[in-house]
Amino acid sequence: MRTIKLVLVLLLCGAGAAMAQVKKGTLATAKISVPTVQCKMCKERIERYFYQEEGVKSMLVDYKKKVATVKYYTDRTNVENIKTGIANAGYDADDVTANEDSYKELPKCCKKPEDGGGPEPKKKG
C-alpha cells in the first residue's frame, strides 16, 4: 500500500512538472515600415486597432520615423497578418497597400499629401 501511494505521488509530481514546462509561443519582434503614417492620430488608430488582435502583445508606432514595432506570439499570428491588419486600418505596411475603403474613411490629416492630406502647416506668429 505504501508503495502504491509513493508511485501516485511521484506520478502527480511528474505530471505537474511536465505541465509547467509547456511554453506559450515564442515572442518575436518585427519592425514594419508604415510610410503613410502622418501624425499622432494615425499612430493612435493603428495601435488601437491592435489592442484586441489575437497574438499581438504590443504595437508601438513611431510616426516621425514611420516605423511600427510589434511584439507578437509566433504560434498565434505572423508578420503578414500584422501587415494586413495595418492595411485594414487604412495605412500602407511594407509591401502591403492600404485597404481602399478604410483609407477613404481616414480623417483628412491622415491621408497622403497627394490626396490633400498630411499635417496642418504651422502658423507663424
- The x, y and z cell numbers of residue 87, run together, are 492595411
Residue 57 lies in a domain: yes
- pLDDT, tens only, 59-82: 999 999 999 999 999 999 999 999
For 104-124, what is each residue's pLDDT tens digit?
Answer: 999 999 999 888 887 665 555
Give a yes or no: residue 119 inside a domain: no
Q: Which domain holds residue 61?
A: 27-99
Q: How many domains does the structure of the chain reveal?
A: 1
In a domain, 19, yes or no: no
Q: Would you say residue 39 lies in a domain?
A: yes
pLDDT at position 53, please? 86
Q: What is the DSSP string of 10-64?
A: HHHHHHHHHHHTPPPPPEEEEEEE-TT--SHHHHHHHHHHTTT-TTEEEEEEETT
Question: Residue 104: inside a domain, yes or no?
Answer: no
Report yes or no on 20 lying in a domain: no
Q: What is the pTM of this model?
A: 0.74
Q: How would residue 23 be classed by pLDDT, with cut points 50, 70 and 90?
A: low
Is 114 inside any structural domain? no
Q: How confident is the model at residue 29 (pLDDT cuts 50, 70, 90)?
A: very high
Query: Could you tell me the CATH number of the domain that includes residue 88?
Result: 3.30.70.100
